[in-house]
Amino acid sequence: MRAAASGVPHCGSCDRPLPWYVEAGEGSFGAVVERSPLPVLVDFWAPWCGPCRMVEPVVERMSRDLAGRLKVVRVNSDETPGLGRRFQIMGIPTLILFEGGQARDRVTGAVDAGRMRRWLEPHLAAREAG
């Protein structure tokens, strides 16, 4: 599966949406995030960050639970300082929701699955309604 694919990934057998969980860097960010057909949850993280490791399974779960509605992208902040400056990342983990190539909302710090879902759902519902 290509990270910058233009459609939504589906199972070849049952046609159900598949989770879209990929990594992006400085060179691929535009194609992977800003030109995505779906809203994109971007997780700015670093390998040494304890709260980032706590959020990682929650972020991965959102890719499964919201398959077909949301693309999830991880960005290693240590390897992408330009993106950190561009999006004013002051602490990690920082989660930014992109829609139509634009940053729409953000959360900084570790969040559990319930809080993350409550944060994402209104954005996704508004997009789907409208």
Catalytic residues, by residue number, are 49, 52
Return the sign of the alpha-carbon dihedral for residues 73, 18, 60, 105.
positive
Taking the C-alpha atoms of residue 106 and residue 24, their distance in angstroms, rounded to an integer, is 18
CA dist., res. 40 & res. 69, Å (int): 9
Residue 69: which of 117, 12, 4, 1 has the closest Cα? Answer: 117
Phi, psi of 76, rounded to the nearest 5 degrees: -75, 110
**Per-residue DSSP letter, 37:** S
